[in-house]
Structure 1
Amino acid sequence: MISVERLSKRYGGHTAVNDVSFTCAPGTVTGFLGPNGAGKSTTMRMICGFTPPTAGTATVHGVDYRRLPNPGREVGLLLDAGAMHPGRTGRETLRLSAQVMGVPQRRVDECLDQVGLNAVAAKRRVRAYSLGMRQRLGLAQALLGSPRVLILDEPANGLDPEGIFWMRGLLRDFADRGGTVLLSSHLLREVEAVADRLVVIGAGRVVAQGSKDELLAGAGTAVRARDPQALRAALDRAGLPARSGTDGALLVDAEPGAVGQAAADSGVALLELRPAESAGLEQIFLTLTAGDSVREAVK
């Protein structure tokens, strides 16, 4: 379990994270989404104790990360795949981590095999690794202590399509076995494919959170008429404001029955009346965070 309660971080006059709260339950993958500069990485660093919060708390299984006696055995982290000693081999990197955590050395080869780094790759210096190989090594390091929680910041960067598909399966399997995953990624389709819950952050604030099904469910009614202006006027009279959809229909935040009754009361003939379909994660993300990346860029 990860619990974040009213977490904030200010740098002088700039508020990077503002009163953020959410939880990640065992057995779930939580997608943590937001544009560049929205506060995702800062939030994750505060959860892991690398950045002290200005206000609020973050705990893992009810304990501050910095108070965990052997954090690598409880929480697997991948916050920066480049933060590895370039002169060590992949196997040396994991052996050193295993020694620090008190993990049996056999776990090194198990984790290398789990992330798809063969014997040749394991002997290579990290400086010669591609970004995708570093991500795989970082995942191996995160899994080394057999943790119950994974916190991953952009773990799919540099992975090819096959690697992304593999990572999706790895995270889904981890959660299905009772693990907790907090996943930040710009690959919205991949998050949509693997996540159970979503937390969307913009300009340092949580702008939406809930189960994936809740956030992606179609909301309201799509309606089309022979006379669009007469339909809009009928909806206005009934107190049902409408907006234009992408396919030419009007989208109304009301049940189909109420929309149909409003049209009938005004004698408007309808061509189409149906529950609205989900716009998909990408469109929802853009709608919820509209303008946030621009505002962050000019601060």
Structure 2
Amino acid sequence: MRKPRNRRRRSRAVLAGLTAAAVLGVTGCDAVGGDAPSPSGSGERRASPTPTPDWDTTPRSIAAVGDSITRGFDACTVLSDCPEVSWATGSSPEVDSLAVRLLGRSRAASHSWNYAVTGARMADLPGQMARAAARRPELVTVMAGANDACRASADAMTPVADFRADFADALRTLRRSAPKAQVYVASVPNLMRLWSQGRTSPLGRQVWKLGICPSMLGDAEALDAAARLRRSTVHQRVEAYNRVLREVCAKDRYCRFDGGAVFEYRFGVAQLSQWDWFHPSVDGQARLAEIAYRTVTARETPS
């Protein structure tokens, strides 16, 4: 009988901490999605792989930009970044980050840098990219866009035209200082998949009520027409963002999009944070590292 009491105490502690954070305005809104096939947007596939000119599958230094996913937010402790488990540059052997897989553990410690910021949107990427470019990295990883969809309402989401302009500006910023740096771009996760996974958890629903991605996760149990339309609108915006990432990246000689792999990956409960049922867990970070490594080391651009 002691284990149930312990779980109740732990649940109350988690909710208390998250409530305090909500009062202070700490949100960290971004997410991980799944690999259920999508009929449009990032789920679309080209007929055949396309060679990437001059792509080097063995870069010797890595810089990461993006949001809380790349910072390992809520993966280790509640309401905290945990960059050591970052899929891109982390040192944890439980994750085997992209940097560790490409550079080796010792070199990764001195030749990888994480400039991602929890809560960042695409508009923040040019500034991050300028800091990354100063390192003259051979590879830059990009994972951003979930916070552009995770707003107070569907109407508050970043317009697609602005998202496109900000991403293009970020790449131009990089090119001014690092004209031949390679860029790996991860697709925006499937937020609809995340909602479908977490909505069955009573504690998860309580945590979401504190303000985590309200455009998708608000009123998580509601299945009326208005709620379905709101979630569908957010889902379609995520698909539009992924089309932008694909199209803008395709115009850059040294850019490689993941082909929608992160969007399509079927993240389950084990891959989500035990603190918020939203950000990747340590296991989820490892899955992101696998996707990135497979994309970066492939001989051809993913279809």
By the TM > 0.5 criterion, same fold? no
Larger gyration radius, structure 1 or structure 2:
1
Higher strand residue share: 1
Task: Report which structure shows greater RCO (CA 8 Å, sep ≥6).
Answer: 2
TM-score (structure 2 length as normaliser): 0.26
